Amino acid sequence: MTQKTERRHQVRLSLYGELPVRFLDAEHLNEIFVTPVDITPQGLGLLVSPAPQPGESMIMQFLDESHPQILLRCCHSQAHQTGFVIPGMEALRRCGFVVVLKEAEDINLVQIFSGNDSVFIGE
């Protein structure tokens, strides 16, 4: 039996609500549809369409320009739905993203989003 390697480096918290950002494909700058799932200080779990491949990047831009844009790299992408399919959501994939910056240690996504009324972060 093969043991699954744990990839998580930080505790993930649930993430709900409307994020005050837009996501862009880093290569073509096309807007990407996302639904938040979870968050860590250095990463986001999102349902994404169209989904990037691991290693590909996207840009997170703050709508109110309160923070500089942040480059995120996809570290995994997997099918979201097993069993039944929800119409209109067939293309969504569960993706994990990490902050890609030399100053990544200085960015805390939990702190950034916890101050916003349209976002709820839970255990």
| Tens-digit pLDDT profile for residues 17-28 | 999 999 999 999
φ, ψ at 97 (rounded to 5°): -125, 145
pLDDT higher than threshold 50 for residue 5? no
**pLDDT category, 88, cuts 50, 70, 90?**
low
Per-domain residue ranges of the chain: 13-113
Q: What is the CATH number of domain 13-113?
A: 2.40.10.220
List pLDDT tens digits, range 45-83. 999 988 889 999 999 999 999 888 999 999 998 875 555
- Return the pLDDT at 104: 62
- Beta strands 31-40 and 119-122: pairing type? unpaired
Burial class of residue 107, CB neighbours in 10 A (0-12, 13-18, 19+): middle
Instruction: Between 102 and 110, name the one with better pLDDT.
Output: 110
Question: What is the reported pTM?
Answer: 0.82
